[in-house]
Amino acid sequence: MSHKFLRTILFLVFAVALCAPTQLLAALSVNVNTASTEQLEQINGVGPKTAEKIIEYRENHGEFTSVDQLSNIKGIGDKSLQKMAQNMTLE
């Protein structure tokens, strides 16, 4: 095999390795503006009651424009929000 071919293969392997965590993170993120109760429960730190509160807040106030708005929900403090935000999107 030529060196050029081996360099190309090596480059592709590194490119996939660099992209994989980003793709995995995107797959694990939950959109809090569209998620069902079951989907919200996939977020670290969100149980059935908190999921219902998130949906209720969303229905009463409209879509979230910032993850920080979740702290307006009773029972979600700064520490909880920090843990939960790692698996959330607002798309």
- CATH number of the domain bearing residue 61: 1.10.150.280
Q: Tell whether 16 is covered by a domain.
A: no
Question: Can you give the residue range of the structural domain that contains 81?
Answer: 31-91
Q: Tell whether 75 is covered by a domain.
A: yes
Total of domains in the chain: 1
Nearest-angstrom CA–CA distance, 44 and 82: 10
Report which DSSP code applies to 71. G
* Cα dist from 71 to 3, 10, 52, 58, 87, whole Å: 55, 46, 15, 13, 16
pTM to 2 decimals?
0.69
pLDDT digit string, tens, across residues 39-88? 999 998 999 999 999 999 999 999 999 999 999 999 999 999 998 988 99
Question: 18 pLDDT band (50/70/90 cuts)?
Answer: low
Residue 34 has what pLDDT? 96
Spatial contact of 30 and 87, defined as CB atoms under 8 Å apart: yes
